[in-house]
Amino acid sequence: MKIARLFGAAAAVVMTTGALVAVAVPASGQDLLNPDIVPAMQRDLGLTQDQVLTRLKSEDVANKVTEAVSATLGDAFGGATYNAATGKAHIQTTSAAEVAKIRSSGAEAEVVKFSARQLDSTVDKFKALDSSAPYAVTGWGVDSATNRVTLSVLQGQRAAADTFLTQSGVDKSSVTILDAAAKPTLHANIRGGDAYYIGGSSRCSVGFSTTTGFLTAGHCAALTGGGSLTGSNGAALGSWGTYRFPGSDYASVRTNSSWTPVGQMNNGTRVTGSSNAATGTSVCKAGSTTGWTCGTVGAKNQSVRYAEGTVNGMTATNVRSAAGDSGGGFIAGNTAQGILSGGNTSVTYFFPIGAALSATGTTLRLG
């Protein structure tokens, strides 16, 4: 039997030029996406229909402006967020001389202490000490909103964070310690359910359709021994391609001739490319347990310390998810963002789509 649709993902062409240019606003939010995204964002972000459409249009412009401006700033780039109150990109720089350039692009400007590369360097120092980090440390990563690296630790265990900071030798003024309510856990459900199955028992979610199959979470393969794959209808699905976990969290699956990957998510939203949306941008995900849920992009370049191993380079969100959603696709508008990895009751992490595509040598199926 031919299967016409897998759990796909969205994507869009991104601006690659470093020039500061005017960006056209789409005529209508409806031009960008399937209407199903609108009620989901209304529900999860507390917006009206008109506010959703307006936000999607302004986010599209803001992200293109950010990509163009950041390329011109080089080492002076401090980070960027989306300001939902003004509908503009908020771009940080370590050089006051760059403020006028940023503002001339239509973005907000802020002078900050640390460059994005400095913050990423701090993250790299933490990653090098992962194997010796205290159990109470649940992760770390860049928070563009505060121009700091956040270090998360279980409540009541701040001494462990202080010890780890001293061991790392990083500039402590660049780090903010945050309390974590619980240790993050992977969202692969070994109890079964809808979506696709591994070895007849474990369940994960398809993320993004590719020209040869689909992408999903690497731990869905690694923690199940790369078992046999079946679809939600019980039919053989295909075979594992490249996958990695821990360190990263991505996997490719080569579907067999009974399945036809298409450039859509399971609610019909089209896939038109991929991008790297700024912190603060609205984002939605499709998963086989919690379905279609929305929130905003949070801190980036996050290292998340699961009991099964640490995953680096992830992006945090406040999107709701649960066990079995692992591998599900995150999109902003029609643009693919990443693959759901795991989280806890307050945060869900995704592994960036660009890194997953590059590592697996796959290409998104576009709709």
Q: Is 128 exposed, middle or buried (0-12, 13-18, 19+ CB in 10 A)?
A: exposed
Question: Is there a catalytic annotation at residue 90?
Answer: no
3-state secondary structure of 258: coil
Options 168, 249, 288, 341, the catalytic residue: 249
Options 58, 60, 143, 219, the catalytic residue: 219
Best CA proximity match to 341, nearest among 355, 329, 354: 329
Amino acid at position 304, single letter? V
236/263 Cα distance (integer angstroms) = 21
Question: Is there a catalytic annotation at residue 219?
Answer: yes
352/244 Cα distance (integer angstroms) = 14
Question: Is there a catalytic annotation at residue 44?
Answer: no
Matching residue, tokens 């790297």: 276
CB 269 within 8 A of CB 234: no
354/359 Cα distance (integer angstroms) = 9
Options 115, 209, 326, 341, the catalytic residue: 326
144/73 Cα distance (integer angstroms) = 16
For residue 364, what are the β-bridge partners? Answer: 210
Residues of the chain by 3-state class (helix, strand, coil), percent to 5: 25, 35, 40
Distances (CA, A) of 40 to 172, 274, 290: 40, 21, 12
State the chain's maximal CA–CA distance in angstroms: 62
Distances (CA, A) of 110 to 61, 91, 265: 19, 6, 37
Residues designated as active site: 219, 249, 326
